[in-house]
Homo-oligomer: A and B are copies of this chain.
Amino acid sequence: MMITDDAFPVEPWQVRETELRIDLLPQSESLFALSNGHIGFRGNLDEGEPYGLPGTYLNGFYEVRPLPYAEAGFGYPEDGQSIVDVTNGKLIRLLVEDEPFDVRYGELLSHERVLDMRAGTLSRSAEWCSPAGKQIRINSTRLVSLAHRGLAAIEYEVEACHDVRITLQSELVANEDQPPPSDDPRVAAALNQPLEAVQHEVAERGALLIHRTRGSGLMVAAAMDHVVEGPGRVDISGDAGPDWARTTVVCGLKTGERLRIVKYLAYGWSSLRSRPALRDQAAAAIASARYSGWDGLLDAQRAYLDDYWDTADVEVDGDPDCQQAVRFGLFHVLQASARAEQRAIAGKGLTGTGYDGHAFWDTEGFVLPVLTYTAPRAAADALRWRASTLDLARDRARELDLAGASFPWRTIRGEECSAYWPAGTAAFHINADIAMAFERYRVVTGDDSIEKECGLAVLVETARMWRSLGHHDRYGAWRIDGVTGPDEYTAVVRDNVFTNLMAAANLRVAADACARHPDAAAELDVDTEEIAAWRDAADAVHIPYDEDLGVHPQCEGFTTLREWDFRDNTEYPLLLHEPYVRLYPAQVVKQADLVLAMQWQSHAFTAEQKARNVDYYERRTTRDSSLSACTQAVMCAEVGHLELAHDYAYEAALIDLRNLHHNTGDGLHLASLAGTWTALVAGFGGLRDDERVLALDPQLPCGINRLRFRLCWRNFRVTIDADHQHVTYTLRDGPHSKLKIRHAGRILEISTDAPTKVEVCEREPLLPTPKQPPGREPFRRSRVRSDSQA
């Protein structure tokens, strides 16, 4: 179901749905999800139904389930972890006289929802005429507090257009019914009634429910409290059962009168703490919310976001789609991470159950680069989460007969949950992706406290893993066999260039970190011989190159594999229509792999190699993964295909706002949303940091007049303001400080005293703009817009 501009107009600071599209409910619930990284609310309607997927999530709160194998194998994980739809506190049911407000009945005269990215709220206004002809207006506003981690709140107001009796039922409901499960492997496993009731309590204006998972043994408390304002007599009462609690408000409204309630919601969960402790934690959060009051919560929310936008905003003149989308992406990246505080940032954040709520390499590879430059504290917390799973990764390495630590391909709590090892365990590159995220954090922020605190052990243990996974062949080349790179259509290969380069970087970074922290390294039993062995392997790493074609094969032999028949196989994503046994040995690429290597390890390729490689892989890449378009945008921009890059940036940006991958309903594609920033900032801004210098090289496509973005670098904030001729670099947070950056390959010193204006360095493409496989051209901005206007 495509989302069009009619339903969701392009506006710079908000996402607005102009009328209720029931067919788009799964998608709009994801788009309108609110989260602070700890609590996640899908944008379900206040009254609970109709719904696409009911969803209330707590980061790290999962249930285990057995992973079945028709043919077992050693080392296959036995248990999966699945995100749980916890107690739903969003529910506010409304009866108008004796008829429940349900948009499917009566007449919906108007309905608008607005996600306000500066206010951090989802608001809704509706006019409804009941089947009996009674008309009302509803205004509700919902927030998940960025300032107070355990809190959410809803303001709900009903205005009568006739004299009516109004009944509100504000609820907590556990074990909500779920839609039937799907066959698509990218969708979650169905969890049926995952919560076991522990306790329910009713108070005068609220209630509390405590539940527990059966397998993972986690306990969750959800509490609600209400402020009620209404004219005349207002009756408030409460009742509850094991899986539900209800506060009922009844009053009579005369025409023009309003009933307003504010619902405070508190959530807490723990694997350790007692039932009374959780109960008190929820009660304390409620008390704190009452102390702030609704306006106080709104103010704190906006203040948090004002600060964020001041640090992170990207302005895209001339391209309103990308303007809206990059803010939408940054907003959701912040929502997924702001208060995650040493919990994972899942592939879909807390916006849906897609991929079972698991975190993948998306976190370190796609989300953390953005957070490191825009919200470094959140990046540090995400790194701390990963480091907290190191012991589990050590266990996994031992199971795999490897040294050091091997991090899971997909997980919630840290155990490997991937049940298909060729696109799971074999994707060892995640270890280097994690290691390099620690290094990027250190380089960009200049803060090496995280390295000291927990990063060094991660670097050392991943280096050890690589050293035991790779080997020197009898010609002295250091090779890594039997691994899967980012491209999951060519798996279990020899010498994947991406993996080999990242592994070598991981080894070098670990060696350097040990030199910085010799005592801590010694505690990890690292000696000079071990460090030397890391450096030797890194220096001898084998990078296959096809001399005849002048391109890098993505892995050994790739360029002599069978060419894929793109004319005969036209149903995408291919993974749902073609067997792996046919995909793997063909020159068909799911997602940027060698091309991603050229972004992340930019210094390892010449400009000519980059141009030729882009040209080769563009023709063979299907972008069946949402992680691809942003990378293709960056590298197409670098080699001078600026218009193609702009198309890819658009595709990465609009993936969810226009449901381009047809599965936004399962949750947002957080990596692609983060990739919007990357496409603009690394693509058209030319940002690179793989040589530990802030390197920029802006050049804009025709459709963008001006690009203005901000970065944190060391103790500075840097603003980059580029148009087609000039770039202005502004260094903030002085006084009288200077910073050496690289502009278009040359060192440039910028100062807090005054902006520095330089000329754009125009890139001429070495090769003509490449073609993509038939039917896999990027979504053209022009086409999508005209379609939607038709």
Q: Which residues of A approach B to under 8 Å, CB–CB? A: 67-76, 80, 183, 185, 399-402, 418-426, 471, 473-475, 479, 481-483, 491-492, 494, 548, 556-557, 560-563, 568-569, 575-582, 584-586
Contacts and interface: CB of A to CB of B under 8 A. Distances in A.
A183 B72 CA distance: 8
A70 B420 contact: yes
A770 to B, nearest CB: 19
Contacts of A474: 548, 560
Contact of A579 (B67, B400, B562, B580): B400
Contact of A581 (B69, B400, B471): B400
A75 B422 CA distance: 16
Given A71-B420, A575-B73, A582 B185 contact: no
A556 B557 CA distance: 10
Contact of A420 (B73, B80, B483): B73
13 contacts: A67-B70, A70-B419, A73-B575, A74-B580, A75-B580, A400-B579, A401-B582, A421-B580, A425-B579, A473-B560, A482-B582, A494-B557, A556-B557
B73 A561 contact: no
Contacts of A557: 481, 494, 556-557
A584 B492 contact: yes
Contacts of A585: 481-483, 492, 494
Nearest to A66: B70
B562 A471 contact: yes
Nearest to A585: B482
Contacts of A578: 74-75, 401
B425 A74 contact: no
How many identical subunits does the complex contain?
2
B185 A73 contact: yes
A451 to B, nearest CB: 29
Given A70-B420, A422-B422, 5 more contacts: A74-B578, A399-B579, A401-B568, A421-B581, A482-B582
A577 B74 contact: yes
A426 B481 CA distance: 19
B71 A185 contact: yes
A575 B401 CA distance: 13
A731 to B, nearest CB: 48
A456 to B, nearest CB: 27
A80 B586 CA distance: 29
Most B CB contacts (10 A, CB to CB) among A185, A399, A418 go to A185
8 closest A-B pairs by beta carbon, nearest first, are: A482-B585, A70-B419, A75-B579, A481-B585, A68-B68, A67-B70, A471-B562, A71-B420
Nearest to A399: B579
A471 B69 CA distance: 33
B492 A72 contact: no
A782 to B, nearest CB: 34
A560 B581 CA distance: 24
Contacts of A562: 471, 481
A72 B185 contact: yes
Given A473-B560, A561-B481, A579 B73 contact: yes
Contacts of A402: 582
Contact of A74 (B67, B400, B576): B576
B560 A479 contact: yes
Nearest to A428: B581
Nearest to A574: B74
Contacts of A399: 579
A399 B479 CA distance: 35
A70 B80 contact: yes
Contacts of A75: 578-581
A74 B584 CA distance: 13
A579 B401 contact: yes
A580 B420 CA distance: 11
Contacts of A581: 75, 400, 421, 425-426, 482, 492
A708 B185 CA distance: 59
A458 to B, nearest CB: 21
Contacts of A401: 568-569, 578-579, 582
A471 to B, nearest CB: 4
Contacts of A425: 579, 581
Contacts of A483: 585
A582 B69 contact: no
Nearest to A424: B71
Nearest to A421: B581
A252 to B, nearest CB: 55
A68 B582 CA distance: 22
A401 B494 CA distance: 25
Contacts of A586: 481-482
